[in-house]
Chain A
Amino acid sequence: MGIKSFSRVRAIHVMLVYTGGCNGCDIEIVNSILSPRFDAEQYNVYLTWNPREADVLVVTGPVTHLNRKPLEEIYNAIPNPKLVVAAGSCALMGGVYKNCYGDIPSEEIEGPVENIIPVDAKVPGCAVRPQDVLAGVVSLLPILLDAD
């Protein structure tokens, strides 16, 4: 393991973007990072709100119409190598909101996240459990290690 991989594993900056889910996943993720119970920092995962600092982007929610462009902008602002975790069933497949107009294509829901930005890891659950989010972020480490 070179110094590059060594440092990448031990300092992971996570940024969260909520794109209009029901708040359940959002709070569980904040919970996993802020509460001393789960304490993501013991795995050297830090919460940041600055896309320029982030390595991993955690996206929740079905990506509503007004959230599409901000999500793209934030994704573009993150320097390479970057990874995306889609957390929660809304982010994975649009959840209960995806087919809200039946056969008529929905203008509100642009998601799932995969339609907009490439997704590297998917964390299922409605709502996701904090343990799963941490596991999802940590499962990305091999990809992060191999990146240039």
Chain B
Amino acid sequence: MDEKVPRSNIIETEIPMGTVHPAALEPYRVRFFVEDEIVQEAEITIGVNHRGIERIMEGLPVEKANSLTEKICGICSNSHIWNSCRTAEMGLGIEIPERALYIRVIMGELERLHSHFLYLAHGCEVLSHETFSMRVFYLREIVMELLAMIGGNRVQYGCSVLGGVRPRCDLDEAKLLRLKNDMDAIEEGLTGFVERFTADSIVMSRITGIGVLPQKQAIELAVTGPTLRATGVARDLRTTMFEYDNFDFNVVTQPDGDVKSNLVMRALESFESIKIIRQAIANIPEGKVVNRDWEMFDTDIIESYIEVPRGTLYHSYALESGRVRHCIIRTPSMANIGAMQYACIGDQITDAQLCIVQCDPCFTCTDRAIEIIRR
């Protein structure tokens, strides 16, 4: 694969899209520099969504700050609160009951399912394939019901608290049974969808070789998460997280880095998530779900990385008399913006939004400063 080079000389015309656009859904501005409908360069402007969450968190009690991190993103809200709690727990040395870890993993994987289904549905929607999009949304609804069952809300569940999970989120026999049955339903539905999707030659011809992100470029742009794995790099933080020690799963990779690889990767990764949830249901230990027995003391800056549906999430803060100081949050989509701009180059303008969508953008998380240091 030849390296794609952004054209810097004369540009025929510029087509800006956003901040309101049907294919984007989120508010951001993108300027495409186009020559004969082929995108030569793209510039994504973030900052439209800047709300200053870290500033709000500064000086809040850590429990409050944790629940505030949920409002960073409505798609991976559980990941944010999970990682934020994890940061404090690491700093304070809080021991978390085994059962709580399992419930956190179940929530995390359910969230991965709903995020990946949203990705597939949105991808099909941008392809203008309404029927496929509807079918995935129908599957996603099962996951949303499960999340609402465990957390009590469809979007922001507030599952993790310092020392474990909220007692509301404890799973009894009936809930576990429902979870188990619904996993079967989701697997059946997803298998059917993936078979239909990959057998559809029109769709396949439409997405193969579009928005290619070569492996070398992906590493250089510091791409994370599924977007990186779709270029053939088997890097998944879940393999190093202690929460996932007892689980057996594969790191899925795809070779090409194009839209097809990305979509298929998300679908295959959803099967791995179902596998993890099944293991969690089968082996969930008895016991309490939250450890209230801990003490607060001042700490240095604590850092925590976890794997969320879109890549690597980083939270760090210091604790000072129970309050959060020097908070830094780095969301996965931010690392992928370079990939989005790069993937558009050389494709038709109709595909340009698809190339952005293939990197699974979440611009509401993303409004932070960014500097790419090339080494």
Judged by CB atoms under 8 Å, the answer to whether A and B touch is: yes
| A-to-B contact residues, CB < 8 Å | 17-28, 30-31, 34-37, 49, 61-62, 64-67, 70, 74, 95-97, 100-101, 108-109, 126-127, 129
Known pairs A35-B137, A37-B137, A74-B20; A20 contacts B49 (CB<8 A): yes
Known pairs A23-B74, A70-B19; A34 contacts B137 (CB<8 A): yes
Inside 8 A of A61's CB, which chain B residues have their CB?
A: 27
Inside 8 A of B22's CB, which chain A residues have their CB?
A: 49
Inside 8 A of B118's CB, which chain A residues have their CB?
A: 27
Inside 8 A of A28's CB, which chain B residues have their CB?
A: 154-155
Cβ–Cβ contact A20 & B137, under 8 A: no
Of the listed stretches B65-73, B101-109, B227-235, B240-248, chain A binds B65-73
Cβ–Cβ contact A26 & B51, under 8 A: no
The residue on B at minimum CB distance from A20 is B49
A-B contact pairs, 11 of them (CB 8 A): A17-B20, A22-B71, A24-B156, A26-B26, A31-B144, A96-B68, A96-B71, A108-B50, A108-B52, A127-B154, A127-B156
Inside 8 A of B52's CB, which chain A residues have their CB?
A: 97, 100-101, 108
> In the complex, what distance in Å separates the CA atom of A21 from the CA atom of B52?
12
CB distance from A67 to the nearest CB of B (A): 6
Known pairs A34-B137, A49-B20; A20 contacts B121 (CB<8 A): no
Inside 8 A of B137's CB, which chain A residues have their CB?
A: 31, 34-37
Cβ–Cβ contact A34 & B20, under 8 A: no
| B-to-A contact residues, CB < 8 Å | 19-22, 25-27, 47-53, 55-56, 68, 70-75, 77, 118, 121, 125, 133-134, 137-138, 140-141, 144, 153-156, 362, 364
> In the complex, what distance in Å separates the CA atom of A101 from the CA atom of B48?
18
CB distance from B83 to the nearest CB of A (A): 16
Cβ–Cβ contact B56 & A96, under 8 A: yes
Known pairs A37-B137, A97-B56, A126-B156; A23 contacts B364 (CB<8 A): yes
Cβ–Cβ contact B134 & A23, under 8 A: no
> In the complex, what distance in Å separates the CA atom of A28 from the CA atom of B75?
10
CB distance from B153 to the nearest CB of A (A): 7
Cβ–Cβ contact A24 & B25, under 8 A: no
Of the candidates B50, B140, B155, B364, the one whose C-beta lies within 8 Å of that of A35 is B140
Cβ–Cβ contact A64 & B77, under 8 A: no
Of the candidates A24, A35, A37, A67, the one whose C-beta lies within 8 Å of that of B27 is A67
Known pairs A26-B25, A100-B55; A64 contacts B156 (CB<8 A): no
Cβ–Cβ contact A35 & B134, under 8 A: yes
Cβ–Cβ contact A18 & B20, under 8 A: yes
Inside 8 A of B51's CB, which chain A residues have their CB?
A: 20, 62, 64, 97, 100, 108-109
Of the candidates A25, A37, A49, A66, the one whose C-beta lies within 8 Å of that of B19 is A66
Of the candidates A21, A23, A35, A97, the one whose C-beta lies within 8 Å of that of B141 is A35
Known pairs A22-B364, A95-B71, A96-B68; A37 contacts B77 (CB<8 A): no
> In the complex, what distance in Å separates the CA atom of A74 from the CA atom of B20?
9
Cβ–Cβ contact B362 & A23, under 8 A: yes
Inside 8 A of A27's CB, which chain B residues have their CB?
A: 74-75, 118, 155
CB distance from A135 to the nearest CB of B (A): 15
Inside 8 A of B364's CB, which chain A residues have their CB?
A: 20-23
Inside 8 A of B74's CB, which chain A residues have their CB?
A: 21-27, 127
